[in-house]
Structure 1
Amino acid sequence: MKASIYVSCFVLFALLSSCKQQFVKPVDEVAEEESGNTLPAPPATWQENWFEHDQVVKRVFYNDRIAVYFDDDVDTVQTTWMFPFIDTVWSYTRSVYGDFGASDTTNRLFAIFHTGKYGGGHPFMYYDANRLYRNGIDIGSGADAWINQTNWETNTIIHEVAHVVEMAGKGVKNSPAHWSIWGDSKWAEIFVYDVYKNTHMTSKMNDAYTDFYNTTDNFPRANTAWFKHWFLPIYQQFNEATVLNAYFEALAAAFPKRPYPVIGQEYTRELNFGEFVHFWSAASGVNLSTRARLAFGPNDRNNASWLTQFTQAQADFGSLSYAAVDPFFGADLSQQATISVSVENVGGATGTEGSGKLNDFDIQTKFFANGFTSGFWIQQEVASPVIANAYLISSANDAPNRDPKSWILQGSHDGQQWTALDSRQGETFEARRSCKVYDFANTTAYRYYRLQISETLNSPDIQLAEWRIMRK
């Protein structure tokens, strides 16, 4: 029996040694004290002139990679942790995503910080004349900002760097997914997690995982778990930061662009959702439409079918090729199958929680039945015999005690005589709406597949969000 494959999993890494080095020097001594610098020193002061920002900020640290500026209210003694932290984050970012501009000067990250004003942050890019063609971040917070290395502070620094990556990378201005697809934070979450993981900030990584894993959003539909159901599984299963960078490489290679005044290029429009799935499929090397259906449902924010858009994207951007079958899910065999159960929901098969929800390609719906017994079964009948060698089960939205715990998967030619294909005991699900894929050995085509569930976690009732059979 092959081991189950977790669609979402989590691995812990070694603890980080402290970054609290004392880097602060008098402003006029920084250049002399920092060894190995080859670039010209950045200006000692900078007059802000954007949004509501109007401070004269002062340089407190720099090297060839970063330049840090504080306003007069930032504590310059208890904030020195930021210098090695930002240096580490930006150095790792460039190691993965490459250059951000054509010169060494533009590749320096300028980081501006405020205390007691300008809550929140924003990025700026080397395309911006108003920012003197520099890449950077500008963040403000409350009265005790930047002293305690809070998760909000470190997350926000990395979050704003994520926007520099998506809006200034690969020599092309703007992010065609930022507003139309993932909004302000969804890409930034997996970027934050990856930076912590690969710079060995384990405690911060664990906190970010817990926070992002349990976060849901209302786009493209209510209760969408972007980190749990989309970015994290893709990241874990397709070589981590490599797949994140590959998405931006694919965009820069194939998505429509035009020259940008003064420097570089810019994207001409935003992605639609089908194109988004297509470009991430290209980055991963496999067709991700099955997992996109499970994660997002069939429609985009405007209730249009992204599946239609996806087909068109495959035609429009045919230079982006990938395997037709996702190796972690296989070819779906349940789309046209007929579902039946030994105990139906009181509202009937087509009811709100009826058995029809078991293969509706939607982990936000569920099947629920009262009166579970060890003889309970769920059955799929296909139009003609098929060879299945994997299946997916998704937990429902609540009540973990109703999850299936132990079962046998069976196959049949006639619906009467059954052959055991796989068995599981003591299974648990990591979270609500959590998908698990189980592999099993089978080379025989069956017309009927039955999941004979002998035990729930601890309930007289049973529920599942989805049960699908696949062929890998």
Structure 2
Amino acid sequence: MSFPIDPGAYQVLDNPLGRDTSWSAATCEPPVRWREHWHEHDRLLTLSQHDEHAAIYLDEDVNRNGTRWLLGYVSDIWRYSKATYGGTFGPDARLYSIHHGHRYSGGHPGYHTDASHDHRNVSDCGPGPWTERHDGAFDLPSHEIAHVVESVNNGVQGSPAFGIWGDSKWAEFFQYDLYVALDLPRHARRLRADFTKGSDDFPRPGTHWFRDWFHPLWTDGGHAKVMVSFFRLLAQHFPTEGGTRYRGQLNWGEYVHFTSGAAGADLRPLARRAFGWPDEWAAQFEQARADFPLIDY
């Protein structure tokens, strides 16, 4: 199957403004010290490196040896995200990447729309180590940045599809595409093998999200372009509060309708093979076509 893609799907952001009116991103320096005050986090962070796209913060327990590569990596992720996924990710041009040593398993994102992380787009990860020898040093930040991309793209806060794909399924698409785009072939092959083997119990037991849904979308949908279009269609058509925050979540019929619009093809056959297609979803799909008639394919 081959999907026609809008050649205008990409939008490069090259003139972001600073968050505060007293400074611009070109002149403001990120703080040298930053005290965490969210969830169970209370570490005093130290600015390690920064450029116009990213700022790297380490807590006192991180072994600094072998961490200099992080800035180039995170900066490349965020530059690619801004250039690819369209719209604005907020007035601060940087992604703030936090790295912990020997604490806080896993990670979480923060968004510029929330005061909880001082109105910064954040990837907060632990426990390390943070050298290039460790695959997790690549995967944890890219996973959390995937959540930033899905939750504040195109100037609208929220992820209407989160209830459909959960914590990690969209992130798998984002990470695989990212590693291909950044010319990290070993990591792209590693993730493709892991994700292809992986299965989930939602929406039904034995579902292969990457193998049967996201990888076909990536292959036939112009790599990231299909999801660029998906997020743009959400921002244009899905209900919001004041145009800045999504109201509600997609149901399965709406999700397949919006994704079909992004792909330029009716994806019900692909969805049926990947997830099944119960009568409830079929009814939701027809209602979605009536509710969002401007989404065409």
Q: Is the pair's TM-score, using the shorter chain for normalization, greater than 0.5?
A: yes
Structure 2 letter corresponding to 1:256: P
Verify the 8 A CA contact 1:170 1:252 in the aligned structure 2: yes
Structure 1 letter corresponding to 2:65: V
Compared CA separation, residues 177 and 273, structure 1 to 2 (3 A): same
Question: Aligned with 1:138: secondary structure?
Answer: strand
| Structure 2 stretches lacking a partner, 5+ long | 3-24
Which one has a larger percent helix, Structure 1 or Structure 2?
Answer: 2
Q: Map 1:92-111 to 2 at 5 A.
A: 92-103=80-91, 106-111=92-97
> What corresponds to 1:307 in structure 2?
282
Instruction: Compute the TM-score of the two structures, normalised by the length of structure 2.
Output: 0.89
| Structure 1 stretches lacking a partner, 5+ long | 7-36, 323-472
The alignment status of 1:120 with 2:102, answered yes or no, reads: no
Which one has a larger percent strand, Structure 1 or Structure 2?
Answer: 1
The alignment status of 1:167 with 2:112, answered yes or no, reads: no
> What corresponds to 2:13 in structure 1?
none
CA-to-partner distance for each residue in 1:108-138, whole Å, 9 max, x for gaps? 1001110100111000111011212111110
For residues 253 and 51 of structure 1, the distance between their equivalents in structure 2, rounded to whole angstroms, comes to: 33
Verify the 8 A CA contact 1:100 1:135 in the aligned structure 2: no
> What corresponds to 2:253 in structure 1?
274
Structure 2 letter corresponding to 1:265: T
Structure 2 letter corresponding to 1:155: D
Of 200, 204, 220, the match for 2:203 = 220
Verify the 8 A CA contact 1:278 1:314 in the aligned structure 2: yes
Verify the 8 A CA contact 1:45 1:58 in the aligned structure 2: yes
Verify the 8 A CA contact 1:39 1:64 in the aligned structure 2: no
The alignment status of 1:257 with 2:240, answered yes or no, reads: yes
Distance apart, 1:280 and its partner CA: 0.3
Identity among equivalent pairs (%) = 39
Question: Aligned with 1:75: secondary structure?
Answer: coil
Question: Aligned with 2:100: secondary structure?
Answer: strand
Structure 2 letter corresponding to 1:281: S
Structure 1 letter corresponding to 2:154: K
Question: Aligned with 1:57: secondary structure?
Answer: strand
Compared CA separation, residues 274 and 136, structure 1 to 2 (3 A): same
The alignment status of 1:190 with 2:173, answered yes or no, reads: yes
> What corresponds to 1:339 in structure 2?
none
The alignment status of 1:158 with 2:142, answered yes or no, reads: yes
Compared CA separation, residues 134 and 40, structure 1 to 2 (3 A): same
Distance apart, 1:63 and its partner CA: 1.0
Verify the 8 A CA contact 1:173 1:266 in the aligned structure 2: yes
Distance apart, 1:90 and its partner CA: 1.0
For residues 150 and 157 of structure 1, the distance between their equivalents in structure 2, rounded to whole angstroms, comes to: 12
Distance apart, 1:219 and its partner CA: 0.4
For residues 166 and 267 of structure 1, the distance between their equivalents in structure 2, rounded to whole angstroms, comes to: 12
CA-to-partner distance for each residue in 1:375-404, whole Å, 9 max, x for gaps? xxxxxxxxxxxxxxxxxxxxxxxxxxxxxx
Task: State the Cα RMSD in Å.
Answer: 1.5
Structure 2 letter corresponding to 1:317: F
Distance apart, 1:83 and its partner CA: 1.2
For residues 88 and 112 of structure 2, the distance between their equivalents in structure 1, rounded to whole angstroms, comes to: 8
Distance apart, 1:99 and its partner CA: 4.6
Structure 2 letter corresponding to 1:287: D
For residues 102 and 76 of structure 1, the distance between their equivalents in structure 2, rounded to whole angstroms, comes to: 30
RCO higher in 1 or 2 (8 Å CA, sep ≥ 6)? 2
For residues 36 and 90 of structure 2, the distance between their equivalents in structure 1, rounded to whole angstroms, comes to: 24
Verify the 8 A CA contact 2:132 2:138 in the aligned structure 1: no
Verify the 8 A CA contact 2:254 2:284 in the aligned structure 1: yes
Distance apart, 1:316 and its partner CA: 0.5
> What corresponds to 2:273 in structure 1?
294
Task: Tell me the matched-pair count.
Answer: 275
Question: Aligned with 2:123: secondary structure?
Answer: strand
The alignment status of 1:139 with 2:125, answered yes or no, reads: yes
For residues 133 and 296 of structure 2, the distance between their equivalents in structure 1, rounded to whole angstroms, comes to: 43
For residues 212 and 56 of structure 1, the distance between their equivalents in structure 2, rounded to whole angstroms, comes to: 35
Structure 2 letter corresponding to 1:138: D
For residues 152 and 244 of structure 1, the distance between their equivalents in structure 2, rounded to whole angstroms, comes to: 25
Question: Aligned with 2:124: secondary structure?
Answer: strand
Structure with larger Rg: 1
CA-to-partner distance for each residue in 1:302-330, whole Å, 9 max, x for gaps? xx7211111110110001011xxxxxxxx
For residues 58 and 208 of structure 1, the distance between their equivalents in structure 2, rounded to whole angstroms, comes to: 31
Instruction: Compute the TM-score of the two structures, normalised by the length of structure 1.
Output: 0.57
Compared CA separation, residues 64 and 149, structure 1 to 2 (3 A): same
